[in-house]
Chains A and B, each alone.
Chain A
Amino acid sequence: MSTTLLVFFALAAISLLAAWRVVTDPQIMHAGLWMGLCFVGVAGIFLLLTAEFLAGVQILVYVGAITTIILFGIMLSDVEEVQPQEPPFYRFRRRFGRWWQPALPLLVAAAFLVALFTIYGQAGWSDLQPVGPAASTPAGLDIPAIGHALFGPYALPAEAASVLLLSALLGALVLAMREETLRVFRGSPGSSRVLQPGSGMAGREVNAGETDHPGQDEKKEVGAGT
């Protein structure tokens, strides 16, 4: 077994374990941290494929930005606020829940697998060239080529993705606005009121009247809330 293969298996194991913990960890903050580790593992696999640029972007965007934003979001959001009063498709689930609940994800996963195999089957696995240290140029991955691709043939998809992100940003802004702020924009009376600080923070409640160390009860509450 070559060293590269060993390293690959180690990285794959880390990524898979982390990914598994993301969906199974009862503490949502830990799930976010596991997600960061999963991204780091994937970046390592990119490095193994000598896709240095992708690995750098993976760390910069996924670990440095996305994980941070998600952790930040978890810390800022009130767990009780996030819990919906009535889960989506409540009636549907109550009627078909028993047997349908495990079947549906399996069905979707199977359909996705079939779709993937169809797509990759068309291209042909054998056509894909193995990208090893020998195959790459001495300068590693060609960064200008990525730039030309992004601003040339793939300009439209890239722009579409940015517009999507921008709309998500604006949507988050609207959702984050509290009634008081909205009233400022509408110009209704009472608009001069000072904004209340965030109603609560998941995991760690910060209230002036409380003790410094929230007790065990609160911890349990958070676990249950997630």
Chain B
Amino acid sequence: MYLAATSSLPLRLYQWTEQLFTDLGLPLWLLAVLVATVKAALIIGFILINVIFLIWLERKLGGHIQNRLGPVYTGPFGLLQTVADALKVLVKEDIIPAAADRWVFMAAPLVAFVPSVMIWLVVPFAPGVQARDLNIGTLYVAAMTGCTVPALLMAGWSSGNKWSLLGAFRAGAQLVSYEVPLILATLAVVMLAGSLSLNDIIRAQQESTWFIFLQPLGFVVYLISAIAELNRTPFDLPEAESELVAGFNTEYSGFRFAIFFLTEYANLLGSSAIAATLFLGGWSGPFLPPFVWFLLKTYLFVFLAMWIRFTLPRLRVDQLMNLSWKFLLPVALINVLGTGVFVAL
């Protein structure tokens, strides 16, 4: 069981529980189920707490960038504003439009939410603190990111609304287009590290240097593609409120809308954590504890994404496609080629 190789407290806790199970004569598969449940609960708890903070941060940052104050009334510095909003949205009615395709409509938010949580299976929080060190780590992350697209298509198509449908079209085209440079940028990092495992990538960065210095081009491609994958401004065409009301989630209300909202921020956090791992050395760093480094680096990317959101205007659809296929893809391919030559030398 891969739980804690170096950090001693979780390991001791696990050994103590194992001893308890053998003493009580309980089957070991129950222990495996228990451990998996605890890990999942910890990860979901981490995501929920961070998302609540992220939404507040986004509004506060946006406020200050636009010379406003952002939320101020609920709690100190308006910190409890998100909590209040979440409670409000949870008690709202869950409306399913008459023209909607009922089952697909109801399932879409869940299908979108699951991959955003599953990404965290391989994220290394600190040395040894990782739900599972898959040896296909980066491939797994790419696969899970790709699973978001069918969910958005489901949401937009099943709503029975033209704005939703158009939003889904845009989401599908955009996400499929930007996945290619995103994966190619990741591939260059994998080539440098010689492994798909995120732990090995961190180790490789400890041995040489942060990959942002070896892969500046790859980093820029990754950053742009990741922001496009997250549907954030300047790439928020799938939910462009000035033309499409709210895109694919126009018809959603109450809890299901909250799930979409949660997914969006969970994906932002997940992408930032992966970017920090791939390019900034993950949890490694001097003086501070590894987990603090991990959070700092993750929030650096979060801040960057928010800064970009409140600085740049939205692109047009044709500009969006041109940027991906005619600029990012060639640059990413050249980057992979250059990295290949660099590794071979």
Residues of A with Cβ closer than 8 Å to B?
3, 27, 29-30, 33, 36, 52-53, 56-57, 59-60, 63-65, 67-69, 71-72, 75-76, 139-141, 143, 201, 203-204, 206, 210, 212-215, 219
Q: Is the CB of A29 within 8 A of B98?
A: no
**For chain A, what secondary structure do more than half of its interface residues adopt (helix, strand, loop), or is it mixed?**
helix
Given the contacts A56-B140, A56-B143, A204-B160, A75 and B135 also touching, CB distance less than 8 Å: no
Say yes or no: is B147 at the interface (Cβ < 8 Å to chain A).
yes
Q: Is the CB of A33 within 8 A of B172?
A: no
Size category of the binding interface on chain B:
35 or more
Given the contacts A213-B160, A213-B161, A57 and B139 also touching, CB distance less than 8 Å: yes
**For chain B, what secondary structure do more than half of its interface residues adopt (helix, strand, loop), or is it mixed?**
helix
- Chain B residues numbered 166-201 whose CB sits less than 8 Å from any CB in chain A: 166, 168-169, 172-173, 175-176, 179, 196
Q: Is the CB of A33 within 8 A of B136?
A: no
Q: Is the CB of B150 within 8 A of A65?
A: no
Say yes or no: is B1 at the interface (Cβ < 8 Å to chain A).
no
Q: List 9 interface pairs A-B (beta carbons < 8 Å), by A numbering.
A: A27-B101, A56-B136, A56-B140, A57-B139, A68-B176, A71-B172, A139-B135, A213-B161, A215-B99
Say yes or no: is B73 at the interface (Cβ < 8 Å to chain A).
no
A215 to B143, CA, bound (A): 37
A141: min CB distance to chain B, Å: 8
A163 to B144, CA, bound (A): 27
- Contacts A29-B101, A215-B99 supplied; 14 other A-B pairs, CB < 8 Å: A33-B150, A52-B136, A57-B139, A59-B143, A60-B142, A60-B143, A64-B146, A68-B146, A68-B149, A71-B172, A72-B153, A140-B136, A204-B157, A213-B97
Q: Which B residues are CB-close (under 8 A) to A213?
A: 97-99, 160-161
Say yes or no: is B162 at the interface (Cβ < 8 Å to chain A).
yes
A35: min CB distance to chain B, Å: 10
Interface centre among B98, B104, B143, B165 (most CB of A within 10 A): B143
Q: Which B residues are CB-close (under 8 A) to A212?
A: 161-163
Interface centre among B145, B149, B173, B179 (most CB of A within 10 A): B149
Q: Is the CB of A68 within 8 A of B172?
A: yes
Given the contacts A214-B99, A214-B160, A65 and B168 also touching, CB distance less than 8 Å: no
A204 to B259, CA, bound (A): 24
Q: Which B residues are CB-close (under 8 A) to A64?
A: 142-143, 145-147, 149-150, 179
Q: Is the CB of A143 within 8 A of B157?
A: no
Q: Is the CB of A53 within 8 A of B139?
A: yes
A21 to B101, CA, bound (A): 17
B100: min CB distance to chain A, Å: 9
Interface centre among B101, B135, B179 (most CB of A within 10 A): B135
Q: Which B residues are CB-close (under 8 A) to A201?
A: 165
Say yes or no: is B16 at the interface (Cβ < 8 Å to chain A).
no
Q: Is the CB of A75 within 8 A of B162?
A: no
Given the contacts A33-B154, A56-B136, A68-B176, A206 and B147 also touching, CB distance less than 8 Å: no
A10: min CB distance to chain B, Å: 15
Q: Is the CB of B104 within 8 A of A59?
A: no
Q: Which A residues are CB-close (under 8 A) to B287?
A: none
Q: Which A residues are CB-close (under 8 A) to B160?
A: 204, 213-214
Q: Is the CB of A67 within 8 A of B150?
A: yes
User: Which of A52, A60, A215 has a CB less than 8 Å from the CB of B146?
Assistant: A60
Q: Which A residues are CB-close (under 8 A) to B97?
A: 213
Q: Which B residues are CB-close (under 8 A) to A210?
A: 162
A12: min CB distance to chain B, Å: 20
